[in-house]
Amino acid sequence: MNEQIELLRQRDQFYARARRSVPAARRFAEWSLSYWGLTDWERSADVLLCVSELATNAVVHGVPPGRGFLLRLCHEAALVRVEVHDSGTGVPAVAHPTLDEGGRGLLLVSALSDKWGVGERSPGKIVWCDFAVAWGRSVT
């Protein structure tokens, strides 16, 4: 008897508070998109950039020393969600652009994703962003 096997729709990976975790998180996201058949999706680069930005924010601002962060990627029907869970305090906000390097991470997330926000967890927060998958137009 042949049974259809449903692809795993949620992928979680924990990372240390270290700069090397950012490219590792991006590789994990790239692998997850490939696993879900979204490699050629026109928004895959946007997802990867947002993963990098949210992971960087977690490492620089959101994770207390000695702790790490969780990257969760979900793919449900017509939606890809990126979540970064950390145990830091504070509420992230979009900064106004300046001439300084940095500080534009959430501005990019806001511009590239369809929706983003911050949720509560104990301790800390979840910063998330959503991307609509338009199967008829975006995926080849």
Task: Give pLDDT tens digits for 29-64.
Answer: 999 999 999 999 999 999 999 999 999 999 998 888
Whether 5 shows a pLDDT value over 50: the answer reads: no
Cα gap 94→22, rounded to integer Å:
20
Can you tell me the mean pLDDT for 119-134?
93
Q: What is the pLDDT of residue 129?
A: 98
Task: Copy the structure tokens of residue 38.
Answer: 């979204």
Sheet holding 125-132, edge to edge: 10-16, 68-76, 79-86, 125-132, 115-120
Confidence of residue 101 (pLDDT cuts 50, 70, 90): low
Which of 121 and 46 is assigned the larger pLDDT?
Answer: 46
20: its two tokens: 């090397």
- Tell me what pLDDT residue 98 has: 57
d(CA 49, CA 41): 14
Over residues 109-123, mean pLDDT: 94
Mean pLDDT of the chain: 86
Quote the pLDDT of residue 95: 67
Cα–Cα distance, 3 to 23 (Å, whole number): 37
Give the pLDDT band of residue 139 (cuts 50, 70, 90).
Answer: very low
Residue 106 CB partners (closer than 8 Å, separation 6+): 53, 57, 92, 93, 94, 95, 116
